[in-house]
Structure 1
Amino acid sequence: MTKKIKLGAFLPGGGQHIASWRHPDQPADGATSFEFHKQLALTAERGLFDAYFLADGLAVSLGGVTEGGFAKVAGFEPVTLFSALAPLTTHLGFIATASTTYEEPYNLARKFASLDLISAGRAGWNVVTTATEAAAHNFNLEQQHPHAFRYERAKEHVSVVKKLWESFEDDAFIRDKESGVFYDSQKVHLTEHQGEHFKVKGPLNIPRSPQGHPVIVQAGQSDDGRALAAETAEVIFTAQQHLSTAQEFYRDIKSRAKALGRNPDHILVMPGVAPFIGRTEQEAQEKYQQLTSLILESDGISLLNGLTGGTLDLSNYDLDGPLPEAPLTEGMKSRQALLRQIADEHNFTIRELYQWVATARGHYTIVGTAEQVADKLQEWFENDAADGFNILPPYLPTGLEDFVDLVIPELQKRGLFRTAYESSTLRENLGLPFPVNSHTRIKSKAEQEA
């Protein structure tokens, strides 16, 4: 089978661009409108997307609130939302974000296993370590944990969650009414984990789903993040600005995974792409300029204050001057470095920088026709820079509809994208292998050797 591009749809109801909620096409209450999220899910499924992806935070951006703010200030908890959307769709996957820093493995494993059963095998977990001081203040901490600590905890956390997801073997539940045997007790297993950060006895009280367990997703950029992704992730979202840097990241992740004994083909690298799509270049540029004109200066400053680690108050600087130097903080180090790279490469002023990153926070932005967008996706896909892409429509629903109605047919015409779903589970649609339960594997090996 010819390899095809995989596509995720990043669809926050309030829009991706910080000013999108002010656009006439987007409902102002989209962030907390279930009907709007339902519309987005159905449109994504019509476009044959692999999954609906949602990021999530554990704090309110106070800068945004005090200055009037943008729509990311409040929204749904992703697993709750996806549990409601899953029965309304049949093939679309649902990738929800949850934190290894502020959630215990048992609770997290349980809610994602539940979503996986509710969706009949279409759930994914986006693993994050949550890098903000504001979130720390909501969880009994005076300051956030150091970067290295968060990733050490994350590594162990994912390991425990995977063990919990294997508590029941796939055929453990007999449910024989005549005999009265509900499950085979020999096919349920204690977790018995004792590590540096967690002590979990198990087993989990949720059975396995048709896809074995939820797809594990990660967005590693830093060295610690790449190490975690290469060891644990099946899908990796990344922010890249150039083909060359995307290729470097792709090669690095694949080689790290291979060195750990994993099959590199079973790890999908999917950079984020934010497209402004027009039937002509001029129309695409007009869409970009219209949205840019809606950015409030205070929101642009607030956005950069957060993305640069919160060590600068950029309102004290000339917005038409250069971005001042700022030390890397314990927050999102890789994103802070990427912002500096973007500012330096384009010689952006502070104003120009927030106008550019307002769309996608450092992910690759394309302004052009459907053919030009498809050209760029094809170039990256065919030159070892991506296995697929996480599409971030700048405003909704129009940005998503433009991609589905204009770019998807172009990709299909080039033989780069599916014309129908291959399966009913997220794992199979992504071309990822079924995770054989380790307890079942051990038993099978013992039987073969006997």
Structure 2
Amino acid sequence: MSTAPTPVSSQPARTAKGESIRIVDEAQAKTNLLGMTPEQLAAYFKEIGEKPFRATQVIKWIYQYGVTDFAQMTNLSKSLREKLSAHACVTPPKVLHRKYSDDGTRKWIFEVTGGSLVETVLIPADDSKANGRKTLCISSQVGCALDCSFCSTGKQGFERDLSAAEIIGQLWVANASYMTDENESLERVDHSEWQNNVTNVVMMGMGEPLLNYKPVVSAMELMLSDHAYGLSKRRVTLSTSGVVPKMYDLAKDIDVALAISLHAPNDALRNELVPINKKYPLSELMAAAKHYVNDINPRHKKHVTIEYVMLEGVNDSDQHAHELVALLEGLPSKINLIPFNPFPHAPYGRSSNNRIHAFSNILSQAGFVCTVRQTRGDDIDAACGQLVGQVADRTRRQATWQKSIAERQQSAAGESVAE
């Protein structure tokens, strides 16, 4: 349970019901306080001649009460509120579109600085509980540089990293969405009724989090901070395709759950599916993963989640399952099998339910906890591997992808005529 900011009186003043939160225009030349860690915000207050403890007060207002208007932060002096209003802002990324699925999944398309678009998905637990688990899948980059062959995001190329404000702002908006209906503006949010409904965060959206290291870590610090979101370190998960050097840095800098986008049990196949494997092969990746979970306290029981997309006839044979068992020997891990979610012209098919079941049985019999991810949000293109957005492709990767599609179609047409 979060505590309110400590005001002059015993409780912070409340706005009248219906009074809105003001979202400052990002175009104004102001310092955005959203995304600043407690240490960064304390340094900011010191720079403007204020006491560093003001950082804690402001952080509580922003994240525990959803307040973005300094005038409503009633435990700050009037002069400080006026100073902040003149020189600072709390600006989440702009929601351009939002879609809510029949199964409870929610997707937002954000317009970030410069006009680029990124996507964020919230997936509720399928248990019909009002206060059940709600997992937010957050993006860390505009596009992605890694070009995994089964992921639509990678086909769009890479434009830029997101700032800490643009990352944590996705969580802020997701929580705000529970204070409004689907068609209502965030400016109608009443902070007197604010609740942080998101229970879990996974850095599994667009981009490779470890290639945008500092902003991602800053955002996760706010997720864990008792003064901000206060999420458990096991409820914040970073997923990486295997940026090995940064995995060692992560082990030193912050304690969150780790997931590895593995998808293949041997180097030859993983080089094809996850090209970064050519730079950091499986032997190095497994060593980094074991280092991450190594802890002298046996009560911590840390493990790595292995993500494995099931591609028909590519990586789903019994032999692949046995290779995976051998690869993960000595690494405390649980395995999450992900049915492939097709996107236009993808060169793969989804493994059958029977094949996934057989694959899972081999892993379970070897002693691994193995789950099959339930596909959610298909009707709004919010399923795993389907996030695309509209990015400026500076790598011309999309043109190359479209060319390969045309060549495949032409080849198929030629074979058909020959027959």
Query: Normalising to structure 1: TM-score of the pair?
Result: 0.35
- The structure with higher relative contact order (CA 8 Å, sep 6+) is 1
Query: Normalising to structure 2: TM-score of the pair?
Result: 0.37
